Amino acid sequence: MSIQENFCPKCGGKTENEGLCNKCLRSSVEWLVCEPRVQCVFCPTCGSIRKGSIWTDVPYERMKLAEELAFEAVAVHNDVQDLELGITMTEPTPNRTLCTVYIRGTLFGEPVYKTCEVLIVWRKEQCDRCSRLSGGYYESIIQVRATGRRPDLYERQRVDKIAHEVEDSTQESGERLSFITRIDDIRDGVDIVVSSHNIGDTIARQIVTEMGGKITRHPKLVGEREGKKLYRITLLLRLPQFRKGDVITHKDRYYEVRGTDSGLLRVFDLREGISNVLHDDSGYRLIGNVREAETADVTYIDQDMAGILDPVSYEIREVKAHAWLRLTDHEKVRILRDPEGGELILVG
């Protein structure tokens, strides 16, 4: 059997194809279409770009973005195989980037090669996020307070850090309109003002996870926006009454708070030297925090009693030398004073 011979209907040449030969196919195909001018709207503050009405963050610098836009402006026919693209760029003016794109490939068995020029025109516009941010837009306020006291400096700094960490991860997950509008450090605590309900709830939950406390949510209707009811939510977050390191007393016993878990206090019993769990139901009186403990000299040990040199009055005060403290004379021990009665409490 002989190989069937076909002839091209256009040029009459021999071909293995049914229909046009490769050469005629190549000349009949417009294999490269190139947009000569592309406009890119970007936010001068944060670098986001707008396509249609949608803003998106661009995680890389402008030259990489220009390269991507230039490649998008080039349309190559599906039949081109082994496609290779190259690019060079110049910036004739600050808001223009001229890209030369080099396109190489194989079309119906023969190499093909072309270049095209794409002018990228950069146009500045404030993005949705930056305009909300500069306008002080907000949807939730987290009021961080504490039960029966004011949050201390350490707690305020921690709350601030947690809020910013949540903001970073929310932005990374693509929720570009969730941000912290501002943080106000006020006398009674910290107000975290945020742009969306979701980031507000997430920050509040994260603070409670790491620091304990309770949240109550108070929504308030403030109007309508594009036919949707608009609520502002106040999240009142009460940190626990006691912080880590607080020494509390109940029925003549002293405990150091080691943590709080949903209504329970994890404590260290300063008499027995053991860990314990107490119900957090406000029957406790605060003595102080171990961070504020004074250092005192142990002057003598007499069986289960110890003589402590009071660093303020220089009197020798006799206290119980609880076994877990393993006190020895002429060593140091850390003490707190009970504001009621002035008893010395050895904290280790």
- List residues binding Zn ion (CB under 5 A): 8, 10-11, 21, 24, 43, 45-46, 48, 127, 130
CB-nearer residue toward Zn ion: 130 or 236: 130
The token pair that represents 282 in the structure block: 């406000």
Min separation Cβ 29 and Zn ion, Å:
13
Q: For residue 3, with 0-12 CB atoms within 10 Å meaning exposed, 13-18 middle and 19 or more buried, which class applies? A: exposed
CB nearer Zn ion, residue 66 or residue 127 = 127
CB of 84 to Zn ion, least distance (A): 27
| Sequence-separated (6 or more) residues with CB below 8 Å from residue 293 | 334, 335, 336, 347
Query: Residues 63, 76: contact at Cβ < 8 Å?
Result: no
Please give the torsion angle defined by the CA atoms of residues 150, 152, 153 and 158, in that order, rounded to the nearest 10 degrees.
-100
Q: Which helix (H) or strand (E) holds 251?
A: none
Structure tokens of 141?
């306020």
Q: Are 305 and 320 in contact (CB under 8 A)?
A: yes
| CB 198 to Zn ion: min, Å | 20
**Minimum distance of Zn ion from residue 61's CB (angstroms):** 16
Closest distance to Zn ion from the beta carbon of 70 (Å): 23
- Single-letter residue type at 118: V
Closer residue to Zn ion in complex, CB, 112/146: 112
Kindly tell me the burial class for residue 192, based on how many C-beta atoms sit within 10 Å of its own C-beta (0-12, 13-18, 19 or more). buried
Half-sphere exposure of 258 (CA within 13 A, CB side): 13
Cα dihedral angle (206, 211, 216, 217), rounded to 10 degrees?
A: -20
Give the shortest CB-228-to-Zn ion separation in angstroms.
Answer: 23
- Minimum gap (Å) between residue 178 Cβ and Zn ion: 14
What contacts 222, CB < 8 A, 6 or more positions away? Answer: 230, 231, 232
